[in-house]
A = this chain, B = another copy of it.
Amino acid sequence: MSKPVLVVGGGPAGLAAAHSLATVGRECVIVEKEDRLGGTPILSGYAKLVPTGEWAKDAIGGMVDRVENEDNVKIVTSARVTSFDGTPGNFTAQLSNGDSLDVEAAILCSGFSHFDSVNKPEWGFGTFEDVVTTTQVEQMISSGQGVRCPSDGRKPQRVAILLCVGSRDRQIGREWCSKICCTVSANMAMEIREELPDCHVYIYYMDIRTFGLYETKYYWKSQEEFKVKYIKARIAEVTSDGEKLIVKGEDTLVKRPITIPFDMVVHAIGMDPNVDNPEIAETFGIDLESHGYIDVANSYGAMGATSRPGVFVAGSATGPETIDDSIAQGHAAAMAVLSSGKELKSA
């Protein structure tokens, strides 16, 4: 009888990995540091997901329910892995709750951390109440409250969404692109226009990266059907004239300074490496790549192999990632565990 597989993290990737393992009759244990499963889409209160338009609580909530109903999946919440020793097929994990687990392999689905906008102070977050993040707007929508200015609860008439907050920004040590913010922001702009048809929504961008089929479904649709306005700009600062927020910058297409007043400014915050990654790397004896994400080997042999045999990784732990791709990688990493286990036995 094979030992169970350890899945670290109960977000989209971890839920997919656990479901895969249970499907083929393999036991697994999900260890989640928070007090419930679902990962960022649930814990941060996301609204409708890209690209399906399903509510996060239904889509990811459904994945949670499925895993919770699997006999082969054991769930440990509010716990962390504190040590991980042994060799492939034969690891022992110590947990922060005092438990000890003998496992065959581990799949790290430990996700990312949202960029904290206080690290970009010149763009007004923390200074002005009506400068918010995409996560806050997701929560306004998913709560049913609607998009309102936090300062006084009014419906905004003009909203600016600033892309690349905490992304593509060498000044603050975040050179990577967060991959999905352009598309999420285009989607959010349409949701705002749908709820508040009189509200003008502007998106400030460097490059619009609505890759693949997102191009028509989000970028073109948001402009043509929802009249969202896109401005290619370098933003200097977000200030206030006492009444309105003022976004100052340079329109890089017409090479002129632009100063536009808004009721609400939304930071499209990036995906940082999980703040726990240095600790995770130490505990599991694995390498991080140069930006601080978990380094992943090639995908051709075993999907999601890390630098340590028997330890795999999936989803946004490896870098900025979409939910769909995180799910695919979770399933694939489960397969890599099964495949490597088979090789162990035949060795």
Task: Enumerate chain A interface residues (CB-CB to B < 8 A).
Answer: 16, 19-20, 23-24, 52, 54, 59-60, 62-63, 168, 175-179, 207-216, 220, 252-255, 289-291, 293, 298-301, 303, 319-321, 323-325, 327-329, 331-332, 334-336, 338-339, 342
A203 → chain B closest CB, angstroms: 13
How many angstroms between the C-alpha atoms of A214 and B54 in the bound complex? 29
In order of increasing CB-CB distance, the 6 nearest A-B pairs are: A331-B332, A207-B207, A328-B328, A177-B215, A179-B212, A328-B332
How many angstroms between the C-alpha atoms of A324 and B333 in the bound complex? 13
A137 → chain B closest CB, angstroms: 22
A324 contacts across to B, CB distance below 8 A: 299
In the complex, the answer to whether B320 meets A212 with C-beta atoms within 8 Å is: yes
A334 contacts across to B, CB distance below 8 A: 335
How many angstroms between the C-alpha atoms of A325 and B211 in the bound complex? 13
In the complex, the answer to whether B328 meets A212 with C-beta atoms within 8 Å is: no
- When C-beta atoms are compared, the residue in chain B nearest to A216 turns out to be B175
In the complex, the answer to whether A59 meets B300 with C-beta atoms within 8 Å is: yes
A208 contacts across to B, CB distance below 8 A: 207
A298 contacts across to B, CB distance below 8 A: 52, 54, 59
How many angstroms between the C-alpha atoms of A336 and B328 in the bound complex? 10
Instruction: Decide: A335 near B325, CB < 8 A? Known: A207-B209, A212-B320.
Output: no
A206 → chain B closest CB, angstroms: 9
- When C-beta atoms are compared, the residue in chain B nearest to A323 turns out to be B299
A179 contacts across to B, CB distance below 8 A: 211-212
Instruction: Decide: A319 near B60, CB < 8 A? Known: A54-B298, A253-B252, A328-B303.
Output: no
A216 → chain B closest CB, angstroms: 5
How many angstroms between the C-alpha atoms of A320 and B175 in the bound complex? 25
Most buried by B among A216, A253, A335, A339: A335
Instruction: Decide: A339 near B215, CB < 8 A? Known: A59-B300, A331-B331.
Output: no
- When C-beta atoms are compared, the residue in chain B nearest to A61 turns out to be B300
Q: Can you name 11 A-B pairs with beta carbons within 8 Å? A: A16-B303, A20-B335, A23-B338, A24-B338, A176-B213, A177-B211, A177-B212, A177-B213, A179-B212, A216-B290, A328-B329
How many angstroms between the C-alpha atoms of A216 and B62 in the bound complex? 36
How many angstroms between the C-alpha atoms of A291 and B253 in the bound complex? 30
How many angstroms between the C-alpha atoms of A106 and B147 in the bound complex? 44
A314 → chain B closest CB, angstroms: 9
How many angstroms between the C-alpha atoms of A87 and B293 in the bound complex? 44
A178 contacts across to B, CB distance below 8 A: 212
How many angstroms between the C-alpha atoms of A301 and B215 in the bound complex? 25
How many angstroms between the C-alpha atoms of A328 and B296 in the bound complex? 13
- When C-beta atoms are compared, the residue in chain B nearest to A205 turns out to be B207
A336 contacts across to B, CB distance below 8 A: 331
How many angstroms between the C-alpha atoms of A254 and B251 in the bound complex? 11
Instruction: Decide: A176 near B209, CB < 8 A? Known: A23-B339, A327-B299.
Output: no
A7 → chain B closest CB, angstroms: 14
How many angstroms between the C-alpha atoms of A338 and B23 in the bound complex? 7
A59 contacts across to B, CB distance below 8 A: 298, 300
In the complex, the answer to whether A213 meets B24 with C-beta atoms within 8 Å is: no
Extra 8 A-B pairs, beta carbons < 8 Å, given A52-B298, A212-B319, A216-B290: A23-B342, A59-B298, A63-B300, A175-B220, A207-B208, A213-B291, A253-B255, A300-B327
